[in-house]
């Protein structure tokens, strides 16, 4: 599932998706990666 996390993080950073549009089962992983990249919510 890490591939999907990376894809969603890239889409969010690019402004093409929001955290609310991420699949529920990987949402927390995506949030953690965003925080690690400096995109605090």
CB count within 10 Å of CB 22 equals 21
C-alpha 25 chain-centroid distance: 12
So what's the pLDDT on residue 5? Answer: 98
List for the chain the helix, strand, coil content (%; round to 5): 60, 0, 40
Contact 25, 4 (CB under 8 A): no
- Using one digit for the tens of pLDDT, what is the confidence trace for 1-41? 899 999 999 999 999 999 999 999 999 999 999 999 999 76
pTM for this one? 0.91
Query: Tokens 């894809």 appear where?
Result: 7
- Residue 25 per-residue DSSP state: T
pLDDT of residue 41: 62
């Amino acid at each position: 599932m890490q591939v999907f996390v990376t894809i969603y993080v890239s889409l969010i950073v690019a402004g093409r998706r929001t955290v609310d549009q991420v699949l529920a089962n990987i949402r927390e992983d995506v949030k953690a990666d965003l925080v690690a990249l400096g995109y605090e919510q």
